[in-house]
Amino acid sequence: MKILLAVDGSKPSLDAVGLVIRSFGQLRDKPEVELVTVHLPVPRLGGLSASVSKEQLAKYYQEEGEANLVPAKKKLDAAGVKYKASVVVGPIAETIVKQASETKCDLICMGSRGMSALGKALVGSVATKVLNLAQLPLLIVK
């Protein structure tokens, strides 16, 4: 079994990490964990691309993403759960589903709410979008 564990540093996403850790103790065969955080792309604005290089932008995405992964990594490391961590860029729900498909996951596990209240108000719940887009089981932790 392979689990895509989507995190953003929020309490619900860390609760999902905790659930995965607790579930490990109950499973005979330990699943593989794909720990993922998704960063929205920076909007392309007029002359911005002239002053910000692709390398600078990639570094920004990586640094921001790593900051979101740190709390989850600490919990997984403390519990002895092995994982592969990734920072990906794109529309959040769509990218989570795509990443789960590309890494051949059997289950997506994520928190019910993320960090951005504004983002939820503008585009709806990421968890709801993942639920509608995913072709595999989804575990949403409240």
Q: Which pLDDT value is given to residue 22?
A: 92
The pair of structure tokens assigned to 86 is: 């990734």
Is the dihedral angle over the CA atoms 140, 77, 28, 134 positive or is it negative? positive
The 138-141 sheet, strands edge to edge? 84-89, 32-39, 2-6, 107-111, 138-141
Q: In which residue are the tokens 């953003």 written?
A: 8
CATH number of the domain residue 97 falls in = 3.40.50.620
Q: Which pLDDT value is given to residue 28?
A: 76
Q: Which pLDDT value is given to residue 45?
A: 66
Please state the domain count of the chain: 1
Q: Which pLDDT value is given to residue 118?
A: 43
> Would the pTM of this model clear 0.85, i.e. be above it?
yes
Q: Which pLDDT value is given to residue 50?
A: 60
Q: Which pLDDT value is given to residue 120?
A: 46
Mean pLDDT by 10 residues, the chain (142 residues): 94 95 82 95 69 86 96 96 96 97 97 62 73 95 88
Q: Which pLDDT value is given to residue 123?
A: 43
Rg (the chain; Cα; Å):
15
Residue 7 near residue 92 (C-beta atoms within 8 A): no
Q: Which domain holds residue 133?
A: 2-141
